[in-house]
Structure 1
Amino acid sequence: MRDDKLLTKIGGLLRQAEGTDNEHEAEAFMAAAQRLATAASIDLALARAHDPAARKAASPITRQVHIGKAGKRGLRTYVQLFVQIAQANDITCDVASNSTFVIAYGFESDIDACEALYTSLVIQMVAASDAYLKSGAYKGQTARQVVTRTNGYVRRRVVEEKALSPITARLNFQSAFASRIGARLREARDAQQAEAMEDATSTVGGAGRSVSTAVAMRDKEIEVKDFYRAESTARGHWRPTSARAGYSTAARQAGDRAGKRARIGADGRLGGARGALDR
């Protein structure tokens, strides 16, 4: 069941994040957006654990999320960002072989929150990588890349150090940005879950309530996993990067720094329509 009030509250936090030039305030609003999503997820788990009607009204769903047009370079890093956000919000994903879309498995409110966060952050990721390339900071740097060498009938793969190209710089930057965002959101999620457990413990019958909260959260997680196993037809295992793409420490460090500075809410709007970038 879609929770428009939750999305409105998250939207307010996104606008506040974008409305401040203070990096620490922006960080606080970002964490607050994820903690709000986690709190709603915990409330859903508790409601479903104690109310048969709530369990019947809310069940896991699948949703296809468009990432970008086929043939566009760099879609893997867009997918990586979505998957990182999904992992912080109790969502399991399948990825199209060409990375043009993701199938999200989870509860509707969790997927809504994930899309809201992704919609904001994917714009920032692309803008930050554009600024990095425009600055020319990648020039003079190198990347380790796996290449195939042929000697007669013998072919072997070797790692070579090459000049860092713009596309390799962009992919490494965005991959590190996505990883850093995932770490930040999981930290905020864990803090909210710990607070929920602490609040439960401090009430009358706290020990029992704490156990009940933990069990409800675990049951919800298991239900999503069971739903995924029953519904998914995916084969193989998706990887965010390819050995042939090249690895640049310098570009990844720059992307990681940008991920630390990223704000939630590129323009304060919510909605999946902005999630795909087909420039």
Structure 2
Amino acid sequence: MRDDKLLTRIGGLLRQAEGTDNEHEAQAFLAAAQRLATASSIDLAVARDHDPALRKRQTPLSRQIVIGTAGKRGLRTYVQLFVHIGRANDLTCDVASNSTYVIAYGYEADIDAVETLYASLVVQMVAASDAYLKSGAYKQETAQQVVTRDYGPWRRRVVEEKALSPITARLNFQSAFADRIGARLLEARDQQRDEAVRAEADAGSAGSTPPSTAVALRNKELEVTDFHRRESTARGSWRPSRASAGYSSAARRAGDHAGRRAKIGADREFGAPRGALEP
């Protein structure tokens, strides 16, 4: 069942993040949005765990989310961002071999929250990488690339240094941005879960017998895992790969910094169109 009030509240927090010029306030609003999503998810998990009728009505489902059109450069970094957000919100994802879409497995409310967060964060990621390239800061940097060279009768893979190209800079920047956002959201989720467990322990010490949050979350995890195992046709697990054109520590540092400072607005939408699964 879709919770439009929850999505509206999350969107409001994200718009507040965008509306402030204070980096710390922006980070706090994003963390608050994730904590709100986690708190709602915990409440639903506990309710399902203690209400057989609700457990029958609310079961895991799958949804295909379009990421971009085939051939667009950098789609793997968009997927990387979505998967990171999904991981912080109890989703398991399969990824198309060309990164044009993902299939998210989980509860409807969690998938809705992830799409809301992603719609804001992907715009911020692209805008930040555009600004980085326009600044020209990457032009003085280099990238490392693994290449195969012939040495007489032998062929060896060696690491070579080369000038940092715009596409390599963008891919490294966006990959690091996605990693940093993932870390921030996981931290906010874990804080909210810890608070819920502590609150339950405090209530228990006062003589009441509240439902077990830890057990409910574990049951939810197992339900999503079992559902994915039954429904998925993917082969193996998806892993984010580093930019095939090369690795740039400078571009990754810039992307990580932008991920730390991200100011997100849920009223923005990703305009690009959103396709065998990743082996």
Question: TM-score category by the smaller chain?
Answer: over 0.9
Structure 2 counterpart SS, 1:222? helix
Alignment of structure 1 residues 106-121 onto 2, 5 Å: 106-121=106-121
Q: Deviations over 1:196-215 (max 9, x none)?
A: 01111111456985771110
Q: Could you tell me whether the CA contact under 8 Å between 2:66 and 2:273 is conserved in 1?
A: no
**One-letter amino acid matched to 1:29:** F
2:218 corresponds to: 218
> Does the residue aligned with 1:59 lie in a helix, a strand or coil?
coil
Q: Aligned ranges for residues 142-153 of structure 1 at < 5 Å?
A: 142-151=142-151
TM-score, normalised to structure 2's length?
A: 0.93
Distance 2:22 2:259 in 1: 16
Query: Any conservation in 1 of the 2:171–2:243 contact (CA below 8 Å)?
Result: no
Identical columns (%):
72
8 Å contact kept, 1:201–1:209: no
1:180 is aligned to: 180
CA deviation map 1:76-124 (0-9, x unaligned)? 0000000010110000000000000000000000000001000000000
Shift of 1:153: 5.4
Matched, 1:141 2:141: yes
CA distance 1:211–1:2, change in 2 (3 Å):
closer
Does structure 1 residue 277 correspond to structure 2 residue 272? yes
Partner amino acid for 1:136?
G
- Number of the residue aligned with 1:168: 168
Q: Structure 2 vs 1, CA of residues 262 and 209 (structure 1 numbering), >3 Å: closer, same or farther?
A: farther
Segments of 4+ moved more than 4 angstroms: 204-211
Structure-2 change in CA distance of 1:116 and 1:148 (3 Å): same
- Distance, in Å, in 1 between the alignment partners of 2:70 and 2:40 is 35
Name whichever of 12-21 and 44-53 sits farther off.
Answer: 12-21
Aligned residue pairs: how many? 274
Aligned residue identity for 1:227: F
Name stretches of at least 5 consecutive residues in structure 1 with no aligned partner.
none
How well do the aligned residues superpose, as a CA RMSD in angstroms?
Answer: 1.9
Structure 2 unmatched ranges of 5 or more = 275-279
Alignment of 1:3-82 (within 5 A): 3-82=3-82
Q: Could you tell me the TM-score, scaled by structure 1's length?
A: 0.93
* Contact map agreement 2:13 2:30 (CA 8 A) in 1: yes
Amino acid at match of 2:267: R
